[in-house]
Every structure is written in structure tokens, then in C-alpha cells.
Amino acid sequence: MRLRLIWVGKTRNEHLRALVADYLQRLNRFVRCEVTELRESEGRDERVMLDEEGGRIVDALRADAVTVLLDVEGREQWSSTELAGQIENWQTCGTKEVAFVIGGHLGVSRGVKESADVSWSLSRLTLTHEMARVVLAEQLYRAYTITRGLPYQK
């Protein structure tokens, strides 16, 4: 199975960017994981910007991938152990790719929400989209250490 992390815009904060890179390096020991950074839209009309970014997200998704949208209003709110179990379930079912999607600072379009297989809220707290990237990378790494019965390396 392969993991793809798809998000809008670059991680501008160098400290957060370094954390994401560190967790992805650790994660790649267990599973092939790649990041797809999509261009942010520019303009004044937020609806147009959301639709443009949404189109880029949908275009980046592969038809055979399970799409997990990280959304503050997400229906799922997994613990680390539950995420590990979900990953094992996808592997057992023969899933080839799981794409985790994080929108930009405006969120995501309705089309992206409708195309997602799973809508996952990391927390009831509101996180910046850059912080959500760090939490996602860390939780994926943690999930793989759980599935393999390894101690968590801090």
C-alpha cells in the first residue's frame, strides 16, 4: 500500500516543514509515502479560489485510491490506535493507495468533500492547515509503530 499526502500550498514555517520532513522520513521505513503540494489560488473571490483549488485536488486523486479528507467537521475522529486499525484494514482489503487531503487556508470545496470516502477530524480544536500536516505525519508514523508493535521513537 502507498500513502499520498495531498495539500494545498507549501509549508512556509520552516520549523513545521522540518517536523513534517522528519516524520515522513521515519514513515517511509514502513510504507511508501509521498507528498503532493498543489498550487494555492490567488484572488479576492474566495468561492472561485476554493473551486480552483478543489479542481486541482480532485485532479490529483487517483480513481483507485481511498480518499481521506481532513476536515474540522469530519465524521470520524479516530484515536491513534483506531487509525492503526483502519490502516491495517485497508491493507487487508488490498487497498493500493490511501490519499490524505488537507485543504488550504480557506478549506476545501463542496466537490472535494463529496468525493472523499472518509471525512476525518483530527481534533475538535481548530488547527492551522500547516499544523494539521505535522499532526497527520506524526499520527501516521505512530500508527505504523503501533501496527508493528514497535516502541514509539520520540
Q: Residue ranges of the domains in the chain?
A: 2-147
Cβ–Cβ under 8 Å, residues 73 and 121 = yes
CATH domain 2-147 topology: Alpha/beta knot (3.40.1280)
pLDDT digits (tens, 9 = 90+) for 59-118: 999 999 999 999 998 999 999 999 999 999 999 999 999 999 999 999 999 999 999 999
Residue type for position 67:
T
pLDDT digits (tens, 9 = 90+) for 27-64: 999 999 999 999 999 988 999 999 999 999 999 999 99
